[in-house]
């Protein structure tokens, strides 16, 4: 139950022998959401034992190759595996006309439908919603239109205090109403406050994904109090100028965002291929924000 994220790729731009371009899979109580789909994603899904068939929704932050080149291969494999359920892709409007010729040429007899949903990256909009989770876009600042994604659990139901319900002889049919927060009204006219009969619900968690962005005040306000923030740190502090020029961030800037947004933990990723050792990233960030982790490929983080 709850949210957990598995890192499939955390490199920027180029695949290297040690790291893959960006992709992650978020498990929300058994629903699997793929976030970005860099080259090699399907191999990484296999290595990390995520079943392809469980992914029904894919979120693409922007249309730079290191975030989308894995899509055609993954879709083709899903077809070969005999998928029949619709596959939903949430991305900028440009993706659909780019992908359609590929799908028409290489995946002509696809046994399932690929549904494209577009969003406006400058806005904070709910782009996906089910009974337990919603996904909201986060405006970020990159060279081309790009969005981050905030995955948040909806408020959960209150827990029944069995002992108290027995004591007050609350009929079973009332339990669903108590879980939703209603006070109990007995047939004899008695009224018992909900918080006597129930315990507070477990906290609703949130995961913010912000890749390919320079340091941005907009990001800080959009990810306020998130339990876990994935923020790109393409460079170290000594390349701050280059980071600014290429619309990327340093580890220290990512930590600054985490600190000012008061998030629970910070996950650093989208590392430039020029760095083999990632330890300096976490050291640099920890000087500003202690609760920092490296988005190491193959690792799973509970939110």
Please, what is the minimum distance in Å from the beta carbon of residue 270 to Zn ion? Answer: 6
**248 touching Zn ion, by CB under 5 A:** no
- Nearest CB to Zn ion, comparing residues 126 and 242: 242
**66 touching Zn ion, by CB under 5 A:** yes
- Alpha-carbon distances of 33 from 37, 72, 80, 294, rounded to whole Å: 11, 17, 21, 21
Q: How far apart are alpha carbons 236 and 250 in whole angstroms?
A: 5
- Nearest CB to Zn ion, comparing residues 37 and 165: 37
Q: Which is it for the CA torsion 31, 35, 38, 44, positive or negative? A: negative
Q: Which stretch binds Zn ion (CB under 5 A): 35-43, 56-64, 148-156, 295-303?
A: 56-64
* φ, ψ dihedrals at 209, nearest 5°: -115, 110
Please, what is the minimum distance in Å from the beta carbon of residue 58 to Zn ion? Answer: 16
Element (H, E) at 287: none
**Chosen residue from 19, 64, 214, 265 binding Zn ion by CB under 5 A:** 64
Q: How far apart are alpha carbons 168 and 196 in whole angstroms?
A: 10
Q: How many CB atoms are closer than 10 A to CB 300?
A: 12
Please, what is the minimum distance in Å from the beta carbon of residue 66 to Zn ion? Answer: 4
**231 touching Zn ion, by CB under 5 A:** no
- Residues 103, 87 contacting (CB under 8 angstroms): no
Q: How far apart are alpha carbons 141 and 215 in whole angstroms?
A: 8
Q: How far apart are alpha carbons 250 and 235 in whole angstroms?
A: 5
Q: Which stretch binds Zn ion (CB under 5 A): 5-13, 111-119, 162-170, 197-205?
A: 5-13
Beta-strand pair 23-28/3-9: antiparallel
Q: What is the DSSP string of 153-188?
A: EPPPPPEE-HHHHHHTT--GGGHHHHHTTPPEE-TT
Tokens 């980071």, located at residue: 243
- Nearest CB to Zn ion, comparing residues 39 and 66: 66
Q: Which stretch binds Zn ion (CB under 5 A): 8-16, 124-132, 173-181, 261-269?
A: 8-16
- Nearest CB to Zn ion, comparing residues 158 and 231: 231
**232 touching Zn ion, by CB under 5 A:** no
- Nearest CB to Zn ion, comparing residues 212 and 256: 212
**152 touching Zn ion, by CB under 5 A:** no
- Nearest CB to Zn ion, comparing residues 265 and 270: 270
Please, what is the minimum distance in Å from the beta carbon of residue 64 to Zn ion? Answer: 3
| Residue 285: HSE in the Cβ half-sphere, 13 Å Cα cutoff | 30
**39 touching Zn ion, by CB under 5 A:** no
**256 touching Zn ion, by CB under 5 A:** no
**Chosen residue from 39, 153, 212, 256 binding Zn ion by CB under 5 A:** 212
Query: Of 66, 109, 166, 277, which is the active-site residue?
Result: 66
Using CB atoms, what's the residue nearest to Zn ion? Answer: 64
Q: How far apart are alpha carbons 114 and 126 in whole angstroms?
A: 20
Tokens of 116: 């494209």
Q: Which stretch binds Zn ion (CB under 5 A): 1-9, 63-71, 153-161, 285-293?
A: 63-71
- Nearest CB to Zn ion, comparing residues 81 and 144: 144
| DSSP label of 74 | H
- Residue 277 annotated among the catalytic residues of the structure: no
Please, what is the minimum distance in Å from the beta carbon of residue 244 to Zn ion? Answer: 15
Nearest to 19 by CA among 229, 277, 228: 277
Residue count, binding to Zn ion (CB under 5 A) = 4
Active site residues per annotation: 66
Chain residues that interact with Zn ion, rule: CB under 5 A: 12, 64, 66, 212
């Amino acid at each position: 139950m709850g949210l957990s994220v598995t890192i499939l790729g955390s490199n920027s731009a180029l695949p290297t022998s040690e790291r893959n371009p960006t992709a992650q899979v978020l498990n929300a109580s058994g629903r699997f959401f793929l976030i970005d789909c860099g080259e090699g994603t399907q191999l990484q899904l296999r290595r990390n034992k995520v079943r392809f068939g469980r992914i029904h929704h894919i979120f693409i932050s922007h249309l730079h190759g290191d975030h989308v080149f894995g899509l055609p291969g993954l879709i083709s494999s899903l077809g070969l595996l005999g998928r029949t359920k619709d596959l939903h892709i949430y991305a900028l409007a440009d993706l659909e006309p780019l992908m359609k010729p590929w799908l028409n040429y290489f995946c002509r007899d696809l046994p399932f439908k690929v549904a494209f949903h577009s969003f406006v990256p400058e806005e904070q909009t709910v782009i996906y919603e089910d009974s337990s989770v919603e996904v909201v876009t986060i405006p970020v600042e990159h060279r081309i239109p790009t969005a981050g994604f905030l995955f948040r659990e909806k408020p959960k139901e209150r827990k029944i205090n069995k002992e108290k319900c027995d004591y007050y002889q609350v009929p079973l049919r009332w339990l669903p109403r108590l879980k939703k927060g209603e006070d109990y009204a007995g047939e004899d006219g008695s009224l018992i406050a909900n918080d006597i009969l129930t315990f507070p619900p477990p906290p609703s968690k949130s995961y913010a994904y912000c890749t390919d962005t320079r340091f941005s005040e907009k990001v800080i306000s959009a990810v306020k109090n998130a339990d876990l923030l994935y923020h790109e740190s393409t460079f170290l502090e000594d390349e701050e100028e280059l980071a600014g020029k290429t619309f990327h961030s340093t580890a220290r800037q990512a930590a600054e965002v985490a600190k000012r947004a008061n998030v629970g933990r910070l996950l650093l990723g989208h590392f430039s291929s020029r760095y083999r050792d990632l330890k300096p990233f976490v050291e640099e960030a920890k000087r500003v924000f202690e609760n920092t982790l490296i988005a190491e490929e193959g690792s799973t983080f509970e939110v």
